[in-house]
């Protein structure tokens, strides 16, 4: 892919991330670094999902849907795409962390078949706890 196109895509991704996570936006450079470090990114103008795969385990690093496009099944669809992709490379489990305060995301993950397997106290910079969730695939 031409470098200019890649930079444009990463900038668009950063803009969308800011709409989804206004209090902790990631820059285009950070997304570039994630990609370089081996993360997979699936993104459109309405949403993105980033994951990392190590042997038989995958981790959802982040997921977001444009505020105007929520409630239409986009997040479920993106998790479905991820599941198919990681199965192809031998993953049998997917992990993620989610804030105890993030009810929409917790409901989303439960609907996708994730179950709570632990809790991390004061995980986020604002002092909130994280729930550790897992799905066997
Ligand atoms: C969480 C998020 C990704 C969901 O995206 P979405 O495309 O709207 O989700 P979907 O339409 O695929 O919803 C799937 C299920 O998730 C749950 N859900 C989604 N939004 C919800 C809400 N606001 N309240 C309660 N449950 C919700 C529901 O179970 C829903 O199924 P249903 O519509 O049949 O009830 C989106 O709200 C978002 O981008 N939030 C900000 C970023 C974020 O918090 N990401 C997760 C970080 S861990």
Q: Which residues of 88-100 are buried (b: 16+ CB within 10 A; e: fewer)?
A: eeebeebbbbbee
Q: Are strands 47-54 and 40-43 parallel, antiparallel or unpaired?
A: antiparallel
pLDDT by residue for the chain (137 residues), tens only, comes to 888 888 899 999 999 999 999 999 999 999 999 999 999 999 999 999 999 999 999 999 999 999 999 999 999 999 999 999 999 999 999 999 999 999 999 999 999 999 999 999 999 988 999 999 999 99
Cα 67 → chain centroid: 15
Measured in Å, residue 30 CA sits from the centre of ligand 1 at 24
Domain ranges in the chain? Answer: 38-136
**Of the residues 23, 44, 71, 97, which should be mutated to test ligand 1's pocket, given the most ligand atoms within 8 Å of the CB?**
71
| CA distances for 9 relative to 16, 73, 92, angstroms | 11, 23, 30
Q: Is this structure's pTM higher than 0.85?
A: yes
> Which strand (E) or helix (H) includes residue 107?
helix 103-111
Residues flanking ligand 1, CB < 6 Å = 20-21, 63-65, 70-76, 98, 102-105, 107-108, 111
| CATH top class, domain 38-136 | alpha beta
Atom of ligand 1 nearest to the CA of 65: 39
């Amino acid at each position: 892919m031409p470098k200019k196109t890649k930079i444009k895509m990463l900038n668009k991704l950063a803009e969308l991330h800011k709409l989804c996570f206004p209090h902790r936006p990631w820059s285009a450079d950070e997304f570039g670094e994630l990609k370089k470090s081996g993360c997979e990114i699936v993104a459109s103008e309405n949403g993105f999902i980033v994951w990392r795969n190590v042997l038989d385990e995958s981790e959802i690093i982040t997921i977001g849907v444009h505020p105007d496009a929520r409630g239409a099944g986009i997040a479920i669809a993106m998790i479905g795409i991820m599941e198919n992709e990681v199965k192809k490379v031998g993953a049998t489990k997917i992990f993620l962390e989610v804030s105890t305060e993030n009810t929409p995301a917790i409901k989303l993950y439960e609907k996708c078949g994730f179950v709570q397997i632990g809790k991390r106290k004061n995980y986020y910079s604002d002092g909130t706890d994280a729930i550790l969730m897992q799905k066997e695939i």
